[in-house]
Amino acid sequence: VTGGAGFIGSALIRYLISETDHKVVNIDNLTYAGNPASLKDVENSPRYIFERADITDAAAINRIFSGYSPDLIIHLAAESHVDKSIEGSGIFMQTNIIGTYTLLEAVRKYRNENTDKNFRFHHVSTDEVYGDLSKDDPAFTEATSYSPSSPYSASKASADHLVRAWGRTYGLPFVLSNCSNNYGPYQFPEKLIPHMILSALAGKPLPVYGEGTQIRDWLHVEDHVRALYKIATEGQTGETYNVGGDCEMQNIDVVLKICAILEELAPERKQGVAFYRDLITHVADRPGHDRRYAVNCEKLKTGLGWSPQHNFESGLRQTVEWYLENKRWWQSILDGSYKLDRIGKAV
């Protein structure tokens, strides 16, 4: 698993160790969003191994492949925050495009040296590669044309194209998945839901882009990792599968739901804060902000028998409860380089 110390990667590794008998090698460079504490529950498992490496380092990746002889790679390592890609796109090009290329070339070398080995490469991508939808457009399908809007989504689209090209040109046995917005425990505080939870608890403004009418499809990370494993092990080689949570919601409504849950679970607000919702601050919209994402995942449901098990209402409450109960995990992050601020000026 590349990027296994990140939000989705760590959830996947916890799932693999607890629900399967696989031996798992976690390749992660531990950049700002990688957190070994997210893997505390599995770090002592004899089936878990951590290798600190950058996916752009061909020598390191070749060494890891030779040392462990993998039969399945699930590629999650990526720079993944749209705001940060707008601030500085270079690292997104380097990690998401050059890193994926380097990984694919290492895989090609490894397969040439192990021609008798059963092998598969699963590339994990995002629904943002498809661009955005109007309110009345049908949801994205696997056949939707790519139209990325941000440096982040453009870099992920580029990586998707590389994987498909290596499949056609070099016979790489791959599967590819595009997921909607993830949420759940252990998510880094830069993302919308944990950012709003922690900002509210700190009595800080809750910045909402524009009127907050952007629509996203919310997918619980535990549902996502179940889908990833199914796709990786049962999906048809060369195929793409969309993964969504069947939950479209405006950003402002998500923030209001978080505030309502906090009123119940954390009623002792910071001094001067009458209600958590009073902290909502509308800020100038970010450049090229997509209006709506919606994912049609019927191919995954009918073909592989997967469906989301988490209801957003209960899943969001569970997530808020987790952050309230795991202050040590996120406090160590906030004490470091990450601060509770966002792009955008109040309007």
234 in catalytic set: no
- Residue 72, SS3? strand
- The size of the chain, in residues, is 347
Enclosing H/E stretch for 16:
helix 7-19
d(CA 75, CA 77): 6
268 in catalytic set: no
Long-range contacts of 116-120 (CB under 8 A, 24+ apart): 117/69, 117/71, 118/71, 119/70, 119/71, 119/72, 119/173, 120/71, 120/72, 120/73, 120/173, 120/174, 120/175, 120/232, 120/237
Give which of 277, 234, 243 is closest to 258, Cα–Cα. Answer: 277
152 in catalytic set: yes
| Pairing label, strands 215-220, 248-250 | antiparallel
Residue 303 C-alpha from the chain's centroid: 23
* Catalytic position from the list 28, 54, 128, 248: 128
* Catalytic position from the list 28, 79, 127, 190: 127
Task: Say if CB 28 and CB 13 are below 8 A apart.
Answer: no
Task: Say if CB 107 and CB 208 are below 8 A apart.
Answer: no
* Catalytic position from the list 15, 101, 130, 152: 152
Residues with a known catalytic role: 127-128, 152
